[in-house]
Amino acid sequence: MKHIFLNLKRFDVPVELGGVNRLAPMADWGKVIVSETQKGLTGYEANEVEFVDFFPEAHILSAAAARTADSKVEVGCQGVYRADTAVGGNFGAFTTNRPAHAAAALGCGWTLIGHCEERNDKAGILAEAGVTDTAAVNRLLNQEIRAAQAAGLKVLYCIGEKSEEQEAWQQVLGDQLSIGLDGVDKSRVVIAYEPIWSIGPGKTPADKPYIEKIARFVKEQTGGLDVVYGGGLKADNAAMLASIAEIDGGLIALTRFSGEIGFYPQEYLEIIRLYMGH
């Protein structure tokens, strides 16, 4: 089965405040995205592909409420805290953090863990304390995956190497997998590969042979877990990614990269059509 994930980052911020949201007022943004995409996804079979949207927390309730009875859209959150509420234990003393049980109660079935932006944030905080050991980031992410699964959530776990790590990519990705997935239920995990060195303006995108090589490595290291391309599933690479047998889907973010950049539902549906072939 294929997996199409949508990471909406902070695309909800209005243009006049420095964001890219021309789609809807903040209060309606999550609802509009679900409402305008689920209708276009009804032609796909449940055993053919699944669609998961990772929303900023403020939009989870309206997004979940907008789902119809036959909706193909699943709702997820953009990460969870490494500790959680428990009956007879901590009842919610997690100010500023998002416990997995809170995400589940809001209507999430998935969470996104280990995205390169989260990894950078954790590494930056650790660096302030003088810790530069990359394994520490992987250990924290492992705690998050365990907490997510304990709350019944499925996990999209992101891995990837930076430009300065490319020569040691096997060690870097191997550690991210072995430490991050230690003791977790792999049947409820999908891996997203982010070639961090190739993402962004002016950088050369990873080519087909490189993506094939990495996907094979990940499957070998994990016993065959599904791997999606996290470097950005777009209109201009959808056909290429669809031709890679080892790739099981993709992660979409922005749909328009010039002019009025941002996320637009109809362009999202077109990317899926190009990738799925119908």
Question: How far lies 259's CA from each of 20, 36, 190, 262, in Å?
Answer: 11, 22, 33, 9
What does the block give as tokens for 241?
């990614």
What does the block give as tokens for 52?
């998961």
Assign 86 to helix, strand or coil. coil
pLDDT of 85: 98
Among residues 3, 59, 101, 115, which one is catalytic?
115
Nearest C-alpha neighbor of 47 from the set 64, 67, 72, 66? 72
The CATH superfamily label for domain 2-276 reads Aldolase class I (3.20.20.70)
Reported as a single tens digit per residue, the pLDDT across 212-235 is 999 999 999 999 999 999 999 999
pLDDT of 69: 96
Among residues 50, 74, 144, 194, which one is catalytic?
194
* DSSP output for 121-180: HHHHHHHHTT---HHHHHHHHHHHHHHHHHTT-EEEEEE---GGGGGGHHHHHHHHHHHH
* DSSP output for 196-207: GGG-STTPPPP-
**What gap in Å lies between CA 142 and CA 160, rounded to an integer?**
15
CB 209 within 8 A of CB 170: no
Taking the domains of the chain in order of start, what are their residue ranges? Answer: 2-276
CB 180 within 8 A of CB 148: no
pTM of the model: 0.98
pLDDT of 200: 85
What does the block give as tokens for 76?
């997820």
* Catalytic residue flag (residue 278): no
pLDDT of 201: 82
* Catalytic residue flag (residue 3): no
The residue type found at 207 is D
Positions in the chain whose pLDDT score sits under 50: none
